[in-house]
Structure 1
């Protein structure tokens, strides 16, 4: 599951709803917000939270609210009155300080609950079982870390998630945004320190494929629409789009695919040799050069039956007189090559199409 964050320190406006709609179109299913607020701001937050809840419902987005007992009191919400919670359009509560395991167990009988993934203990799990908690409605959500150098260590994180899965929790973690970042530090809101300045899509895929994470949310309040579309392309259509500088016209205007078996050093475009054979074109040796990550190449006639195969280099490779260099993928897009798996679609874009 993919989600994103909307914060209530500013008004929930038509612009907010437009953003919600665009994110939903690109495969995002959940919204995260927080109501850790001083008492004097409670009226504004109540109004904004209810409006956000209505918008999320209209776009079929779940709404998870990060809160503690004091914040709920400031909003005049009682955990004893679940119906009152539901009037806000809240799908789940992410619980911080002040809740007992008995209260958490009772809440889990009525709505989804997220606990702090870093602090759940074996004792907590035992007490939740003893109080008949509904574990199908309880998840483990990691924090994000605004201050550089304080994000979680990858080895600890993965071991922690393994334990959480053994306790039958689904696990959620955050990746940073790429557009408007949250103050006061504006340094990204990742769970892992290694993701602080990473491409959010690459970070999200790493969490789910390598770090035992089930749900990924954007921590910062804004994802650019170009990157939101990249999320949609990858998760909905198994497609990666990269900008490339080249004069080789056949690259444009179609979707290529990586071979079903994944090579270590290069991405092999499965349609390329077949296309060359159909066109009866000879590829003469030309423009041999150093092949660095992101270099697009074509095998020339010195490679025999491999003639016409187009590849994208994933690592540094030496000059080869049987391989012609066609162009270079934009440096910003090179991390996206890590997303190319078996049969992944690849579309080349002109550099000037970047937004």
Structure 2
């Protein structure tokens, strides 16, 4: 399934022109979807319609998919029936995210709405919620899944639980989404804003590292910045993330030679299929580079995340590239760089035959 980037808009808290400016930047950088919260609406139906229709119209001009986050209270407040979703269709929305669920049968019926509105389900519960809905013969192509975000420090999901929740949706072929958090954005839907990630381990990481991790899990199709507004630098960094394979940011050592530099940066690396626990081996490059690789930075201990290349002492393994997983020393290897410490978690996702690349910091 193709993968996308998204941002969040909060019309009840934001300035319209600032929202438009934000969407213009995001469109140019290849962002494709918008999460828009309606959970905080407090005005009458006519005022709410005008406010949301205005910004959704601008979003649709820029070809964004717009999903509105709603809860049962919204229907009561705006005097809308679940049996008639025309209000949201007239707003111009593409779909509705149900912050709270029903009995399964209701969600299945909603997925057959005559407007073709997507029904997005809350993924952050490790229960058979989706299976129950599908049992009622839901209109599966119109079902998405999206995790929650968590404004309070310490309250977001642990990785193991996240994996379990996400697998329930992924194995059914449902499009999935999760949130990352800007380190500079000022607000979200509530008055507490310690960031808005889905995973607690992401709360204080750079946005691009968060996105790399979510994509690397293979469980998430759409990565959305939960808070607003991300900086221009964050948006650019996120737009440059490879969504389909891990690309490590690496700091190269000063003594790296030109052949080693080309080896690291100019190749599609592939982990050998018959793996070892000590290192990730990219072996095809040693066939490509036949030049003698003289010794440098080869007498120290190598640590997890170090990138090494075989030197002239290594015989047939000269110019083989390896990423260290377990601490060891071997004078037949030159240290050529170190993976960004924030990205060491990504090493867990380099499986047998996984493809990966490097980007020089």
Partner of 2:196: 189
* Residue aligned with 1:177, SS: coil
Matched, 1:4 2:39: no
Specify every segment of 5 or more residues in structure 2 that has no aligned partner in the other structure, as ranges: none
Match of 1:149 among 134, 142, 154: 154
Shift of 1:79: 4.8
Matched, 1:298 2:309: yes
Matched, 1:89 2:92: yes
**Residues 170/192 of structure 1: CA separation in 2 closer, same or farther (3 Å cut):** same
Distance of 1:86 and 1:109 partners within structure 2: 14
Matched, 1:246 2:253: yes
Alpha-carbon deviations, 1:143-173, whole Å to 9, x = none?
2221123223444444444555677755443
Shift of 1:311: 3.4
Relative to structure 2, which stretch is displaced further, 1-10 or 233-242? 233-242
TM-score in terms of structure 1 length: 0.75
* Residue aligned with 2:301, SS: coil
- In the alignment of these two chains, the number of paired residues is 342
Shift of 1:271: 6.6
Alpha-carbon deviations, 1:68-114, whole Å to 9, x = none?
24435656766555443223220111124597766644432222112
Matched, 1:20 2:26: yes
**Residues 59/267 of structure 1: CA separation in 2 closer, same or farther (3 Å cut):** farther
**Residues 160/50 of structure 1: CA separation in 2 closer, same or farther (3 Å cut):** same
Alpha-carbon deviations, 1:254-299, whole Å to 9, x = none?
523323526544444557534541xx43514655212123333332
How well do the aligned residues superpose, as a CA RMSD in angstroms?
Answer: 4.0
Distance of 1:120 and 1:323 partners within structure 2: 45
**Residues 230/241 of structure 1: CA separation in 2 closer, same or farther (3 Å cut):** farther
Partner of 2:119: 113
**Residues 213/311 of structure 1: CA separation in 2 closer, same or farther (3 Å cut):** closer
Match of 1:273 among 276, 282, 286: 286
Partner of 1:318: 328
Shift of 1:12: 3.1
Alpha-carbon deviations, 1:192-237, whole Å to 9, x = none?
3333334555555555665845544332334455555555544457
Contact 1:257-1:271 within 8 A present in 2 as well: no
Partner of 2:39: 36
Matched, 1:346 2:358: yes
Partner of 1:60: 63
Shift of 1:322: 1.4
Shift of 1:65: 0.5
Matched, 1:134 2:139: yes
User: Per residue, is there more helix in 1 or in 2?
Assistant: 1
Shift of 1:301: 1.4
Relative to structure 2, which stretch is displaced further, 118-127 or 168-177? 118-127
Shift of 1:32: 0.6
TM-score in terms of structure 2 length: 0.74
Partner of 1:353: none
* Residue aligned with 1:53, SS: helix
* Residue aligned with 2:119, SS: strand
Contact 2:182-2:234 within 8 A present in 1 as well: no
**Residues 272/228 of structure 1: CA separation in 2 closer, same or farther (3 Å cut):** farther
Distance of 2:210 and 2:331 partners within structure 1: 36
